[in-house]
A and B are shown apart, each in its own frame.
Chain A
Amino acid sequence: MDDKLRDRILSGIDRREVIDLESGLVAIPSYTTEETELAKFIVAQMQRFDLQADLQEVPLSEGVSHNVIGHLLGSGQGPTLLFFGHMDHGPILGRKYASYDGWKRDPFKPSVEGEWIYGKGCQDEKGGLCAMLSAARALVRAGFKPKGDIYFCPVQGHKRVSSGILHLLETGFRADYAVNTENSGNAVVPSWVGRAEGAVHIRAPELHFHRKEQFPELKHRKTAFEYLTKFLLELGPEMMPPRSDCWMTFEATPGLEDYPQTRMEMITFHDLDHLEISFQIRTVPGQTDDTIRADLQRLVDRLRQEDSHFRADINWPSWPSRPAGNTPASNPVVQSFARWHNFVAGELPDVGPRGRLGAAADASHVVGQLKIPTILYGPGGGMTDLEHGRKVLRREVEPDERIRIDDIVTAAKVYALAAAELCG
């Protein structure tokens, strides 16, 4: 890329404008499935700087929500690039479960304090959206005409099993490269864990005090609670690296050596003779629903060999799984982002899974369905601000979500320069 274009693009990104835009995004609540107001705001912003922008309706069982499609039209001669990031913020079950216990600030009145900006969703992931929009604005201002199309797509429903990105893909979206603007601490993340969730139903006869003595056939029977415990302890340890004798079969992925991991979801009590445990697995590349189902069956069979009364039925997956991602480090999208991060931030980027360790992302669907080389790169989170996160956990500081303004600015510059390079 010639230096003039580079400098023109960079001059189109202004810290004050970034703060104003981020504040505007944070000020609009966008609980999962309630993203439409934010989507309209984003479309208006895009149109203000002359980017072609449309709302895309997303039909949901709860009603209707919207994605945004911003489009910088290319001449058709080069690779295409898709930026996407989620507009919704938690809690997972929506507005009525929202709790801001311990928050010092109004979650939807963004406040700038020193190098930080505070507010609900500012980091996860309106920071990424802000950087994406700022990059688009800079490219338009610079008069940049790409060869391949560049799409800027804030999507809804990340926490509703990725309904927004799935709808976008279903309506025929395609690109040669994709960037998920999830918070990675501006690390270039080419591989990340997937997320799969299912359940196992444990069945055992109901016993009663003294019936074991009264009825000899019950003497060695165990309750569903005992089997559940046995099963849970076999599944685990929870959120810990796999044991050497882990029940799952998988091949280690560099940087993801601490995975796969299990995470318990909930126990459902059907009756005393029927308990259900649902859990997640944060998967590594190569693990599929089929491999997990087979692994679970093997575990169940082993437990049944130890105790012939053990009964467990596997329901896997109970939700659509998000596969793990594994874009080769040699791919141009990885290389370009690493190079421009180095240029903008003045330091080598962290290239690898560390920035999103353990977290799943909408990117999984893009990779899983379309096999598009995809990376995660976005401001906030990751390995940045870790000490603050630990203090929040220890309840030593207020839990108000925050993001460093300079990180958004950095991401915006990297997005714009990498896009110009990949699609120029």
Chain B
Amino acid sequence: MLQLDRALVGRLREAVSGDEVVALAADLIRIPSHRWEESEAASYVAGFMRGIGLEVWVQKVEEGEVRSKQAIGYLRGSGHGRSLMFCGHLDTTSPGRQPYRPDLWTHDPYGAEVIDGWIYGLGAVNMKGGVTAMLAAVQALVRAGFRPDGDIVITAVMGETAGGLGIEYLLNAGVRADQAIVTECTDLDVVTVAVSACRGHIHVEGESAHHLPHRSAVQTAAELIAAMGPPFAPIPPGGWLPYTPHPELPGYPRFAFREVQSYGYDFCRLTFDCRIIPGVSPGDVQRQLEALLQRLGIRGRVEMPPHPHVRNRPTAEGISNDHPLVQSVVRWHETEVGRPATVGAGKRLGGASDAANLLAAGIPTVTYGPGGIDVWPMIDERSRTADLVAAARVLALTAAETTAR
């Protein structure tokens, strides 16, 4: 059982200022950081971390047409304790694409209005709230004069909403820790296990023949869609993707279509997103889709990932509920939020995150952060300011506890 000095607890609680937390979240919301365009937000985060005295590194991410940046900060420890990584993503959905529907918003997506205890804006939930909480937590640690034994690494990454190009760059650069907290919007559930997302194109071919009976690519695509079964619903046992059910991820795997494009009569391209569980890999999805095409007699191919800068996440078994990191988050959640924690897949069921990459890299990882989704599509995205503050305190206390010798 980990423990923390009572006086330190008090100092850390005090060091998280509600007004500062809201101001920080507002700053982040006011900087547009649509997917692939995170550089300005990364610079802001780097500046913030420099301002509180961290050692800061801005990493360039350049892949294909993508030119972006992400920020990494170190609160150096004495070197004798366990290190901890905080990880949050800077990218938000892009204008013009679902689930962000600017046409339906009643608040300015970049206005960061605070009304009745809520802060509004694009990314308020996913996940500038979580980035705010982790930055405020580290600020509190510094302000409270806390010196960790293990390093605390703060990573504000890009490209999460397209499969995690940023986290891949981060891990490839050798950034590691003994344990990690991804501060994604879990609505303050303690998430220990999650699905992974993999995406791809299915190219189907038709065969047009002038004036003769034939099957067009459009018709062929319709037959394939029908054969795959309903999207956003559990793939039934015996369906196109074999799997062993995961007790904590009921109703998964599932898939959905994200786009469709016709190219003349003869070619049609379906873009899919498949949420898979530990035991099923993106490679399995590709092989099974290829087998399905063959069974249906459809000429075509499966291309995964769909674009060079999109990544297919590995699947990984989650962190044990007995892990000290989980125990620590649960306990501080209960003291700071004042209600028992939900542990497991929680409200993140069906959501993928960079936690999968960290877990696959062998880093025990918990996902915990403020912000829940209370409408769909995510119109007038908003987070409770009290949750941002509570999350910052939980993260600060957990960090202090789990990085101690």
Contacts and interface: CB of A to CB of B under 8 A. Distances in A.
A207 B261 contact: no
Interface string B332-376: 000000000000000101110000000000000000000001001
A222 interface: yes
The size class of the interface chain A forms with chain B is: 35 or more
B99 A208 contact: yes
B262 A267 contact: yes
A225 B225 contact: yes
Contacts of B210: 359
Contacts of A205: 377
Contacts of A222: 230
B231 A226 contact: yes
Interface stretch (B7-15, B32-40, B212-220, B382-390): B212-220
A223 interface: yes
Contacts of B251: 210, 213
B230 A238 contact: no
Given A206-B377, A225-B257, A239-B214, A266 B262 contact: yes
Interface stretch (A126-134, A227-235, A301-309, A329-337): A227-235
A264 B218 contact: yes
A236 interface: yes
A26 to B, nearest CB: 18
Given A206-B99, A209-B351, A223-B232, A267 B209 contact: no
A245 interface: no
B265 interface: yes
Interface stretch (A28-36, A42-50, A140-148, A269-277): A269-277
A236 B209 contact: no
Contacts of A357: 211
A225 B260 contact: yes
B219 A267 contact: no
B311 interface: no
B350 A236 contact: no
Contacts of B214: 238-239
A263 B264 CA distance: 12
B232 A272 contact: no
Nearest to B233: A212
B218 A225 contact: no
Interface string B178-196: 0000000000000000010
B211 A359 contact: yes
Nearest to A215: B376
A357 B233 CA distance: 44
B275 A358 contact: no
B218 A265 contact: yes
Contacts of B19: none
Contacts of B264: 266
Interface centre among B195, B257, B268 (most CB of A within 10 A): B257
A348 interface: no
A223 B270 CA distance: 14
B256 interface: yes
Contacts of B260: 225, 267, 269, 275
A213 B268 CA distance: 31
SS class of chain A's interface: helix, strand, loop or mixed?
Answer: mixed
Given A223-B231, A238-B215, A359-B211, A218 B261 contact: no
Contact of B225 (A210, A229, A271): A229
B97 interface: yes
Nearest to B257: A225
Given A209-B232, A233-B226, A267 B351 contact: no
A207 B212 contact: no
B225 A226 contact: yes
Contacts, number: 112
Contacts of A171: none
Given A215-B376, A238-B216, A208 B232 contact: yes
B376 A271 contact: no
A388 interface: no
A271 B347 CA distance: 26
Interface string B156-167: 000000000000
B50 interface: no
Q: Chain B: interface residue count, which band?
A: 35 or more
A113 B339 CA distance: 89
Contacts of B377: 205-206
B211 to A, nearest CB: 5
Nearest to A258: B213
A277 B261 contact: no
Most buried by B among A215, A232, A277: A232
B90 to A, nearest CB: 21
B116 interface: no
A240 interface: yes
A291 interface: no
Given A266-B262, A268-B262, A229 B226 contact: yes
B244 interface: no
Contacts of B351: 209-210
Given A209-B351, A210-B351, A215-B376, A266 B218 contact: yes
Contacts of B376: 207-208, 211, 214-215, 218
Given A206-B377, A272-B98, A232 B218 contact: yes
Interface in A165-189: none
B230 A358 contact: no
B211 A358 contact: yes
Contacts of A265: 218, 262, 265
A358 B256 CA distance: 37
A225 B231 contact: yes
A318 to B, nearest CB: 15
A264 B216 contact: yes
Contacts of B213: 239-240
B97 A271 contact: yes
A268 B350 CA distance: 28
A267 B99 contact: no
A211 B151 CA distance: 38
A370 interface: no
Contacts of A279: 218
10 contacts: A206-B98, A207-B231, A208-B232, A210-B251, A215-B376, A225-B260, A264-B265, A272-B258, A272-B259, A359-B210
Interface of B: 96-99, 195, 207, 209-219, 221-222, 225-226, 230-233, 251, 254, 256-262, 264-265, 268, 275, 347, 349-351, 373, 376-377
Given A209-B350, A214-B347, 11 more contacts: A208-B376, A209-B195, A209-B275, A210-B251, A210-B349, A210-B351, A212-B232, A225-B260, A238-B215, A238-B219, A265-B265
List of 10 A-B pairs having minimum Cβ-Cβ separation, nearest first:
A210-B350, A209-B350, A266-B262, A264-B218, A232-B222, A206-B98, A264-B216, A229-B225, A225-B257, A358-B211
